[in-house]
Every structure is written in C-alpha cells, then in structure tokens.
Amino acid sequence: MKEKIGMVSSVATETKKVYGTRNTCPMTRMGAFALLKQAIIKALDYRNNDNKDYDSKSDALQKLINREVPLFVNCNTKSEMDAVELALKDFPIDIVFTGAFGVNENTGNIIGNKFSVILGDLTNAMSSVNSKVDLEGIKKLMENGVDIAISSCGDNVSSGKESLLWNAILCYKYGLKSNDVLRMITSIPAKILGVDDRIGSIEIGKDADIIIWTENPIETYTARVEAAFINGENILNTRRVESCW
C-alpha cells in the first residue's frame, strides 16, 4: 500500500532488557536517547554537507528530517514520553508515540503540535503500564485536534483483530464518544500512517474495504457482521471460514 511509512525507535524498558543482556549499547535508557539524538544530528550534518561520502544510515533518515515521514517512538510511561519530548524538541521531525500509556492532557506541551499517538493494547492483562492510561486526558487532546489511534499491539505480542475491537469497546466504556472511537480505528490511523488517500473512510476513489454490522459493535455486544467487503467483494459469501464472528 505504501513503501515507506516512517522510522521506528524505542526507549521502552524492553530495549534495555534486550541490549543489556548482550552487553552492547543501548544498555540504559540514557544510552537509547543518546543514540537517537546522535543519529539525527549526524543526518542533519549529512544533509548540509555537499562533499559527503555516502552514509546509508544518514541517507535513510533524510525523509525523517525533511518531515516526509514521522518517527515512531515506542515509550510506555509518562516519564519516557516527557523525556522523548525534551530530547527531540529542537529537531525538525514529527513524532508518533506508540504504546503511549502515559499520555495525558499535557502531552505535547514541549514539542507543540508535532506529534500523534498510537495507543498500545489496553486489554493485555499482563501489562504493568496499560492500566495507567488517562482517557480523560485523551479526550481533551482529541478535542484540541491531536490525532490518537487505537491498536492491538504491545511489547511482546500483537493479539489480532478481535483485540482491536475490544480496545475500542474499552475506550467507549470509559467515556470516549462512539464516533471518536470509530475514527480512532479507521480514519486516524490511516492518516498517521500516510495512507488516508486509499483507506480509513468511505469516499469515492478509495479502496472498497467495508464492514457492515447489524448494530454498532463499539456500543453493543449483540452486533454481528452482515457483510465484509474487500475491494468490493463480499468475502462472507465467497471466502467464508469459521470465526468468532
């Protein structure tokens, strides 16, 4: 659908766990921030140097520093998110916080409007951080125009499409409006990923991928899928298999 969506980094605890056991940098959170800043500074110098030798890493970051693609930063807590803002506030880049269980109404105070959010899996009972998410703060950020999406991803596993709906239901249960929750799993993630010219909403010229339900599945457990169109084909008629729906 799109070859280059963005660049990916992580300052979450899991990074330390992985590299710490290998005895290689970054073994600490400070080490992760240092490497991230160093890479961006090097890429900026690379862009401004007319007599440079080719550097594949700095070259790959050019779309990032030219704001053609965002930087996806995995960070779970408020302190991690605040540290990311402080570390990157002077760089010309757009940030997408992933995981982002520490998001609140003050997120973005340092970097302004150069960010969006993809929430991690709120249904993961093994997580020590997802219960701390501030949904009231999320409501206020969305009212102020911040793009916030829902996902079913975590640091260990991606639990799949069923979990995505459960995450949406949880957000609705705790006070977000149904239409806002719908946007958080459709048009907003499409916009964040830069593919909203093809998917995310029902418009002429976009991919004909549409699900038709008996009722709103975000609001009621009795909703059932009546039709599932992919590229205009109702796969419930042509490719039906057993599923939980």
- Write the pLDDT tens digit of every residue in 155-188: 666 666 778 999 999 999 989 999 999 999 999 9
Amino acid identity, position 69: V
Tell me how far the alpha carbon of residue 76 is from its chain's centroid.
12
Strands 210-213 and 225-230, sheet pairing: antiparallel
Averaged over 24-45, what is the pLDDT? 85
The pLDDT, as a whole number, for residue 20 is 62
User: Sheet harboring 233-234: ordered strands across?
Assistant: 210-213, 225-230, 233-234
Which tens digits make up the pLDDT trace of 190-244?
Answer: 999 999 999 999 999 999 899 999 999 999 999 999 999 998 899 988 876 665 5
Measured CA to CA, the distance from residue 44 to residue 207 in angstroms comes to: 37
The pLDDT, as a whole number, for residue 242 is 62
The pLDDT, as a whole number, for residue 239 is 75
Which tens digits make up the pLDDT trace of 38-93?
Answer: 999 999 999 999 888 999 999 999 999 999 999 999 998 999 999 999 999 999 99
Look at the alpha carbons of 107, 111, 82, 41 in this order and tell me if their dihedral is positive or negative.
positive
* Beta carbons within 8 Å of 169's beta carbon, 6+ residues apart: 217, 218
The pLDDT, as a whole number, for residue 12 is 81
Measured CA to CA, the distance from residue 56 to residue 23 in angstroms comes to: 25
Q: Binning pLDDT at 50, 70 and 90, where does residue 21 land?
A: low
The pLDDT, as a whole number, for residue 112 is 85
Measured CA to CA, the distance from residue 117 to residue 192 in angstroms comes to: 9
